Amino acid sequence: MSVNVSRGVLVVSLMMVLGGCNAGSMGSGLGLSPTEPAAQPATQTAAAVQPFVQGFCPQISLRDGTSVYRTYAKSKSQDAKDVVFQASLADTTRACSRTDTTLTITALLQGRLTSGPQGKAGSINLPIRVTVMDGDQEVTSEIEQYAVNLADVNQPTQFVYTKQVTVPGNVSGMTRVYVGFDEGKKKK
């Protein structure tokens, strides 16, 4: 019988605790009245407790004609049998953080690298350009030789490219981030 009484007391106690969590207004369990705000620690300022909404984070777009990059064994060849490797970009995403004066954009790109008939296993540098445009104005443009390791010519490999770009915090809502492969100027 004492086991049943103990279980009953435990269940009733649990129900009272859970009921107390949902009863009354916010702060009533702390002994505060509904109109009395919780006291702030002396070290916090009013600005530190204000809610912050992230707001604008520019979209990322692949520029037309820059999502695929091929190299050929022969410099002027465009023949499929001369392809050394082909890389392509598929998906993008971004994250942003803001300070009083800057906006930092972290761009992530998913890509795939495939060997061609002339390909060999090893590290391959892919020229990836990240450009931030505010309307018609170029804010920044950077190119990076991103190394991707192709372990086996018979197996394509996927890669994720991450680039952090910091721009002035006063960019407009027309700001866009463009990414893609940069082949440089074509020689004639």
**Which CATH number is 125's domain given?**
2.60.40.10
pLDDT, residue 24, reads: 44
Strand-by-strand arrangement of the 175-181 sheet: 59-62, 175-181, 122-134, 137-150
- pTM of the full structure: 0.67
pLDDT, residue 36, reads: 47
pLDDT, residue 91, reads: 93
d(CA 119, CA 150) in angstroms, rounded, equals: 10
Please state the domain count of the chain: 1
Contact assessment for residue 69 and residue 183, using Cβ atoms and an 8 Å cutoff: yes
Q: Which domain holds residue 129?
A: 59-181
d(CA 73, CA 117) in angstroms, rounded, equals: 10
pLDDT, residue 183, reads: 78
pLDDT, residue 23, reads: 43
pLDDT, residue 40, reads: 52
> Is 4 within the bounds of a domain?
no
CA-based nearest residue to 97, from 140, 52, 48, 135:
52
> Is 31 within the bounds of a domain?
no
pLDDT, residue 62, reads: 93
> Is 160 within the bounds of a domain?
yes
> Is 71 within the bounds of a domain?
yes
> Is 3 within the bounds of a domain?
no
> Is 41 within the bounds of a domain?
no
> Is 159 within the bounds of a domain?
yes
d(CA 178, CA 122) in angstroms, rounded, equals: 28
pLDDT, residue 1, reads: 52
| Enclosing H/E stretch for 13 | helix 2-22
Report residues of the chain scoring pLDDT below 70: 1-54, 185-188
